[in-house]
């Protein structure tokens, strides 16, 4: 019985705690590292404005239907860029101050930021080809 319990613990170990990513697919963990939710204004300043990498900023809302389509589509394409670009997700209901500061009047609004400056922007939903072109332009590829 003790051996069985030890074996169960051993088998479950890779799916819990800090070692969890070692037992999972690379694409999933890479996507999680390149996409993050903005927590507050100082987090936005640190992780977006001061980022050494280009950042795609997705201003969205929980109640927004098109946002629910665009968000995962954009996350998938950002993950495919293998760390060349990051994606910050900003819920406009939680961070109204950021939405006002960046003149977001409709959702989804997506900004492309490089060296702390907005270099491109679109409002509304886009297909994958348009999103790939948007990312390539931001990365400079």
CA distance 83 to 22: 18
Task: List, run by run, the mean pLDDT of 10-residue segments along the chain (141 residues).
Answer: 43 39 39 84 97 98 97 96 96 97 97 97 97 96 58
Task: Note if the pTM is more than 0.85.
Answer: no
pLDDT of residue 71: 97
The tokens for 70 are 């665009």
pLDDT of residue 141: 58
120 carries an active-site annotation: no
Domains (range + CATH), the chain:
35-139 (3.40.30.10)
Among 67, 107, 131, 138, the one annotated catalytic? 67
67 carries an active-site annotation: yes
Whole-angstrom CA distances from 82 to 4, 35, 78 are 40, 11, 8
């Amino acid at each position: 019985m003790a051996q069985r319990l030890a074996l169960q613990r051993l088998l479950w170990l890779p799916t819990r705690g800090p070692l969890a990513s070692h037992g999972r697919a690379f694409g999933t963990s890479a996507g999680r590292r390149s996409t993050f939710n903005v927590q507050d204004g100082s987090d936005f300043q640190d992780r977006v404005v001061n980022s050494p990498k280009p950042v795609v900023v997705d201003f969205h809302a929980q109640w927004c239907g098109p946002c629910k389509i665009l968000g995962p589509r954009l996350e998938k394409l950002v993950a495919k860029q293998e760390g060349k670009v990051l994606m910050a997700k900003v819920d406009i209901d939680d961070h109204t101050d950021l939405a006002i500061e960046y003149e977001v009047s409709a959702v989804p609004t997506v900004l492309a930021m490089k060296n702390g400056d907005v270099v491109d922007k679109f409002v509304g939903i886009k297909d994958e080809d348009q999103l790939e072109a948007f990312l390539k332009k931001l990365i400079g590829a």
